[in-house]
Amino acid sequence: MKHEGSIKVGNSTFHYWIKNYDVGSHYGSDGGKISKASLQRDGMIVYNYDRGLDIPPADEETETALAILMKDYN
């Protein structure tokens, strides 16, 4: 399934794209269901996972947004 949306954390608004499955996989983030995830803030990619970590979270707000999305989709 593909999901797209926005999430506000602190003073930042993140736009996200997620691709997840019904069951976890070794390709999934932390062995979970998310196989692809991208977060953008102000048009810049601040996190990207595509069957492996490409761009780590840029800062604490990005980590918080990612934690929320992981809880919802992973």
* pLDDT for 22: 78
Residue, of 74 and 42, whose pLDDT is higher: 42
Q: What is the pLDDT of residues 18-48, one digit of tens each?
A: 998 877 777 767 777 888 999 999 999 999 9
pTM of the full structure: 0.88
Q: pLDDT averaged over the chain? A: 91
**b/e burial code for range 2-30 (CB count within 10 A of at least 16 → b):** eeeeebebeebebebebbbeeebeeebbe
Q: What is the pLDDT of residue 47?
A: 97
Beta bridge partners of 15: 6, 40
Output the CA angle 7-12-14, nearest 5 degrees.
40
Residue 25 phi/psi, 5-degree rounding, is -155, 160
